[in-house]
A and B are shown apart, each in its own frame.
Chain A
Amino acid sequence: MSDSTIALSVIFGIVAVSSAVAFYAGARYKMDLEQWSVAGRGFGVLLVWLLMAGEIYTTFAFLGASGWAYSRGAPALYILAYLALAYVVSFFILPYIWEVGRRFGMQTQSDFFEKRYGSKYLAAFVSLVGVAFIVPYLQLQLTGLGIIMEVASYGGIKRAVAMLIAFALVAAFVFASGLRAAAWISVIKDLLMLFAVVFVGIALPYHYFGGIGKMFAALVAAKPTHLVLPGSTKVMGESWYISTVLLTSFGFYMWPHLFAASFSAKSSDTLRRNAVFMPLYTITLPFILFVGFTAILVLPNLTNGDLSLLAMVQKTFPAWFLGIIGAAGALTAMVPAAVLMLAAATLFAKNVWRLIFAPTMTDDQVARLAKSLVVVITALALYFAIYSSTTLVALLLTGYAGVTQFFPGVVFGLFWKRVTMPGVFAGLVVGIATVAFLMLGGRDPFLGLNAGFVSLCLNFVVTVAVSLLTPAQASAFDEPVRVAP
């Protein structure tokens, strides 16, 4: 057997077995809208935690982080800071979101905006923006899958074809089983990823340099500026670092699927305790960076940094091992892709289409619409994935620039009485318009700052100013809790 056959067989074997386990887990349930999209809200704490914690182990961390360590250097360090800080932010907002969520029976982020600000147009706009910025995140996962197949086939399968296959796999997976399968498969995915990352993060520097410390000593001698901001870029300096860490740590739980996941926790105290310990889950990320740094000296001429982890494994280990690492990578792309597709499709069908255009739709009709939307949204992401050449991390930052614009509306909604619907609406529109203007116009970073952060600041200013200029509104959140007799 050729190397590519071995590697690809191992990948498909592991993915197939994991999917079978997941399908089995989902097969006992009737797939109505609730089951398919939120697994009937019946997840225990452990499954919720795995889904939420597993969120950081996506293709972004696996291939993207090592890719930026390779191509950018020090700017990749922002990834270590923002995840730990995202949990710190979550400590102060998720318990409050959970409490209003339970009081008003909320299912989605859009429900939060509708209840707090009393406008279905704002709620629909929030959903629409959420769906729009899920597309680059989905594109990231599909690109990652494409890269894995390309490397594992030793170049035999071209990237675009590989992404088409990947798209078919994930869509079939989502169609057949919904969220419950995704949760179970993420158990397998996290274990495999944990092993893969720590093993290659230690083994590769030892193999080529005799240790992690020796690898860094060699790297510092060869490329002294790579490990200090702005690394091997010209524009990602200290102000870029600070603004990017702030944007992404504020934005983490603004992703529609993560925001909604907090509703399924058992209590607000569970969310607080999770927030305390979650930073420890990110301790594997330095190992991923080690791989990217090692690759600089061993494989200096890669065309794309995102290839660095897999190319290193391919160069160093036999084909079957590349297959195992490739399978870990494939699962870290497929599970988040499935969750993102589900979230985007359900959000659009339920909180945009039914809310505004077809209030009489039944849940079954919404579920059918959502399933067909899975294909549309993924095809869109696939189109972008094939026709653009952005790095994986840049794709994620585009998503963050968009979803973090929800932050003022959420935080003021919870903690500031005087905020009004027109204020939040205007702030959000200005924020998104600024993101589009700066990022599509290639003006990121802007004046040394992350363009998404600049947009967020404008968003805050406009939200506050317009709120103060418009008449105060009563908030449903402030109504006294009616205790059942």
Chain B
Amino acid sequence: MRYPSVRAMLLALLPFIAMCFSVPLWDTVYPLVLGLPFSLFWLTAWILLTPLCMWGAYYLERAAAEKEGRRP
């Protein structure tokens, strides 16, 4: 059995923390950002940041695969 790399999983945990577990911290209307309620702005921003995290995870996965000497 093969497993995903732990470092990639830690990186992928970031969007989960930001968009899911930390909801009590950002579930608020103020401050309005770009005219949007803060919660809506926060989630929209993380829709754009999630691909960045996963891009990093992708390279970590590739590096881990190459170290094991298999094709990713």
A contacts, CB < 8 Å to B = 74, 77, 80-81, 84-85, 87-88, 91-92, 96, 211-214, 216-217, 220, 224, 227-229, 238, 241-242, 245-246, 249, 268-269, 272-273, 275-277, 279-280, 282-283, 286, 289, 414-415, 417, 477-478
Q: Tell me, yes or no, whether B24 is within 8 Å of chain A by CB.
A: yes
CA distance in complex: A238, B29 (Å):
15
Interface of chain B residues 23 through 50 with chain A (CB within 8 A): 23-24, 27-29, 32, 34-37, 39-40, 43-44, 46-48, 50
In angstroms, Cα B63 to Cα A316, docked, is 54
A246 / chain B contacts, CB cutoff of 8 Å:
20
- For A283, list chain B residues within 8 Å (CB): 44, 47-48
Q: Is the CB of A88 within 8 A of B16?
A: yes
With a cutoff of 8 Å between Cβ atoms, the chain A residues found around residue B4 in the complex are 92
Bound together, the chains give a CA A269 to CA B66 distance in angstroms of 13
- Decide if B51 touches A280 in the complex (CB within 8 Å): yes
Q: Contact between B35 and A214 (Cβ–Cβ < 8 Å)?
A: yes
Q: Whole-angstrom distance between the alpha carbons of A242 and B20 in the complex?
A: 6
In-complex Cβ contact of A242 among B12, B23, B47, B58 (8 A): B23
A85 and B39 contacting across the interface, CB-CB below 8 Å: no
Contact for A84 among B15, B27, B35, CB less than 8 A: B15
* CB-based nearest B residue for A414: B1
Measured CB to CB, the residues of B under 8 A from A are 1-4, 8-9, 12, 15-16, 19-21, 23-24, 27-29, 32, 34-37, 39-40, 43-44, 46-48, 50-51, 53-55, 57-58, 61, 72
A83 vs chain B, min Cβ distance (A): 8
Q: Determine which residue in B36, B51, B55, B57 has the highest number of CB atoms from chain A within 10 A of its CB, and name it.
A: B51
B residues near A74, Cβ cutoff 8 Å: 27, 39
Question: For residue A279, which residues in chain B have a CB less than 8 angstroms away from its CB?
Answer: 47, 50-51, 54
A211 vs chain B, min Cβ distance (A): 7
CB of B49, distance to nearest CB on chain A (Å): 9
Q: Which residue of B lies closest to A282 (CB)?
A: B47
Q: Taking chain A's interface residues, is the majority helix, strand, or loop, or is none over half, making it mixed?
A: helix
Chain A, Cβ-Cβ closest to B39: A77
| Contact B35 A229, beta carbon cutoff 8 Å | no
| B57 CB to nearest chain A CB (Å) | 6
8 new A-B contacts, CB < 8 A, other than A280-B47, A286-B36, A415-B3, are A77-B40, A85-B50, A216-B35, A238-B23, A245-B19, A276-B58, A283-B44, A415-B1
Question: How far is it, in angstroms, between the C-alpha of A286 and the C-alpha of B32 when the chains are bound?
Answer: 15
Q: Is the CB of B27 within 8 A of A286?
A: no
Query: Could you list some 20 contacts between A and B, CB below 8 A?
Result: A80-B40, A84-B15, A87-B50, A87-B54, A88-B50, A91-B12, A92-B4, A212-B35, A227-B40, A228-B27, A238-B23, A238-B24, A241-B20, A242-B23, A272-B58, A279-B47, A279-B54, A280-B47, A283-B44, A417-B1
Q: A228-B29, A276-B54 are in contact. Are A211 and B35 (CB under 8 A)?
A: yes
Given the complex of chains A and B, what is the CA–CA distance between A87 and B55 in angstroms?
A: 12
Bound state CA distance, A149 and B71, in angstroms?
52
Cβ of A269 and Cβ of B72 under 8 Å apart?
Answer: yes
Contact B29 A478 (CB under 8 A): no
Q: Which of A80, A88, A227, A269 has the most CB of B within 10 A?
A: A88
User: Do A478 and B9 touch (CB < 8 A)?
Assistant: no
Contact A277 B51 (CB under 8 A): yes
Establish whether residues B32 and A217, one from each chain, have CB atoms under 8 Å apart when the complex forms. yes
**Which of B2, B21, B37, B53 is the most central at the interface, judged by chain A CB atoms within 10 Å of its CB?**
B37
In whole Å, how far is B53's beta carbon from the nearest beta carbon of chain A?
8
Give min CB distance, B8 to chain A, whole Å. Answer: 8
Give the residue name and chain of the B residue nearest to A286 (CB). B44
Q: Is the pair A229, B32 in contact by a Cβ cutoff of 8 Å?
A: no
Q: B43 and A80: CB pair below 8 A?
A: yes
Q: What A residues does B32 contact at CB under 8 A?
A: 213, 216-217
- In the complex, which residues of chain A have a beta carbon less than 8 angstroms from the beta carbon of B51? 276-277, 279-280
CB pair A275 B29 closer than 8 Å: no
Contact A213 B36 (CB under 8 A): yes
Contact, CB under 8 Å: A212 / B36 = yes
In the bound complex, residues from chain A placing their C-beta under 8 Å from that of B15 are 84-85, 88
Contact A81 B20 (CB under 8 A): yes
Chain A residues contacting B9 (CB-CB under 8 Å) are 92
A247 to chain B, nearest CB (A): 11
Distance, CA A280 to CA B46, complexed state (A): 10
Say yes or no: A220 contacts B43, CB within 8 Å.
no
In the docked arrangement, what's the CA distance between A289 and B36, Å? 12
